[in-house]
Amino acid sequence: MTRQPHPSPTAPLSGEPLALELANTTYIDGGLRGHRVDALTTTDQLTAWASEHAGQFSDELPAVLVERACTPRTHEQFLSLREALRSCLQSVVEHAVPNGESLAVINGFSRYSASRLEISPGNPVVVTRRWQVDDPWLIALGEVASDACRLLMPDLIGQVRACPAPGCILFFVKSHPRREWCSPVCGNRARVARHARAGRTAPGTA
């Protein structure tokens, strides 16, 4: 019988680039007075996360991932990459230079995504992707890290945002000129907080 991975907590945001999807697997549930949630506390949750984002990996990779169990070591590496991503992204949105250690982690893992194409006889010929490492989980790790490198290139880096809503720690790409928050929920929370501040400072208030 195939062992089914336990689902991870439902993240409040989806549809972002793969690197942001990993960074956003830790979030605040409940706003400013909420609590921090880690959606990747186990190897099963990481397996479920990879399955949920199968469409963002190389076409050949998801089918191979399901055949290889995620190990505790792999889990630790993904968490290390997530920490480096969050540190780097926070620096970027604050217009600061990212920490060298964080960049080294991202660059180190990115090398696992290296691959080449091979042609085999056929009519038509068969083209197969071959990676330079055998472990599909390392390849997945590398593809997330490589996505971070693409995300921080000059044409995209200016669109990376940290959600300004009270209590939110999520990152997103400003995909529309009017998008200011990661989600409508955070937009509503920000408006409520702004209204409350205005009420406290209005003339004649105690």
- Whether the CB-CB separation of 139 and 131 falls below 8 Å is answered with yes
CA dist 64 and 183 (Å) reads 33
Q: Is the per-residue pLDDT at 90 higher than 60?
A: yes
In this predicted model, what pLDDT tens digit does every residue of 129-179 receive, in sequence order? 889 999 999 999 999 999 999 999 988 899 999 998 888 999 999 988 888
What gap in Å lies between CA 183 and CA 131, rounded to an integer?
36
- The answer to whether residue 125 scores a pLDDT higher than 60 is yes
Predicted confidence at residue 2, as pLDDT, reads: 45
- HSE-up of 104 (CA within 13 Å, CB side)? 3
